[in-house]
Amino acid sequence: MAASSPTEPSTAVESTALVTGAASGMGRAVAERFLAEGWSVLGLDRDTTALDKAAAELGAAFRPVPVDITDRAAVATALGSPEHLRAVVNAAGIYPPTLLVTYDEAAYRRIFDVNVLGTLNVTAEAVPALRTAGGGSVVNFASIDAFAVSPGQLLYSASKAAVVCLTRSLAQELGADGITVNAVAPGWVDTPGTRAGGRMEQAVSGIPLGRAAQPEEIADWVWKLCHGTYMTGETLVVSGGVTVR
């Protein structure tokens, strides 16, 4: 009988996923998907009000972890040594608009600290628990803007391109530990944050499928990436066909 893959945990053993940005949007959709599959979820977010609301609605298997992911020491303290950790999903991200004529150092630090440094901090602090569990998966959130940049997203696009590169490097570094590292690059997704930007309705006309994705559709792909056996270092674009034009 073939040995089971380290990225395919047995249903007889509790499995835990760590999800950042879990209080809302795509992060919450990912948390809900893992919960529906019988996993426990460590939900990291710095918005304590939204996190408390999510915890009240999602039940005891969702364990809220209020923390600022840009502070590695705080992440280490908040996580401790989680048991049965088999998946890490770095979904937290921010996307304030920036242009060459409007950016400043504060905007640069804020965007790269959350989108890039936060991804590194969480992954670094979670990897020991993945090793203890015998391996697992990391899925980072990149963006279609890493490949087909949007007007007014100078620093956000650059930060997500960095996430794509980090994903490749981490895949090389962690492969020997039985840990796969991949990324998902969503296009337009119908979340409250995206709608608040006021550009989604116009953007939909340029999507071959004629609509934005639902958060649950992105969560489906994250779930699949967390259960691959021979795919690592890749970034899966889920954009409704935007890149075919």
Structural domains in the chain, CATH included, are 16-244 (3.40.50.720)
The mean pLDDT of 109-122, rounded to a whole number, is 98
Residue 14 predicted with pLDDT over 60: yes
Residue 206 predicted with pLDDT over 90: no
Please report the pLDDT score of residue 188 as a whole number. Answer: 85
User: In which band, very low, low, confident or very high, does the pLDDT at 17 lie, cut at 50, 70 and 90?
Assistant: very high
The pTM score is 0.92
49-88 per-position pLDDT tens digit: 999 999 999 999 999 999 999 999 999 999 999 999 999 9
C-alpha 120/C-alpha 171 separation (Å) is 13
- Known catalytic residues are 156
Strands of the sheet with 85-90, listed across from one edge? 62-66, 40-45, 16-20, 85-90, 136-141, 179-186, 235-238
Q: Which of 75-84, 138-147, 182-191, 200-209 has the lowest mean pLDDT?
A: 200-209
Please report the pLDDT score of residue 204 as a whole number. Answer: 81
Residue 161 predicted with pLDDT over 80: yes
Please report the pLDDT score of residue 1 as a whole number. Answer: 38
Residue 244 predicted with pLDDT over 80: no
The mean pLDDT of 40-45, rounded to a whole number, is 98
C-alpha 106/C-alpha 70 separation (Å) is 14
Residue 197 predicted with pLDDT over 70: no
Q: How would you label 128-162 residue by residue, b for 16+ Cβ within 10 Å and e otherwise?
A: ebbbebbbbbbbbbbbbbbbebbeebbbbbbbbbb
User: In which band, very low, low, confident or very high, does the pLDDT at 8 lie, cut at 50, 70 and 90?
Assistant: low
Question: Mean of the per-residue pLDDT values for the chain?
Answer: 92
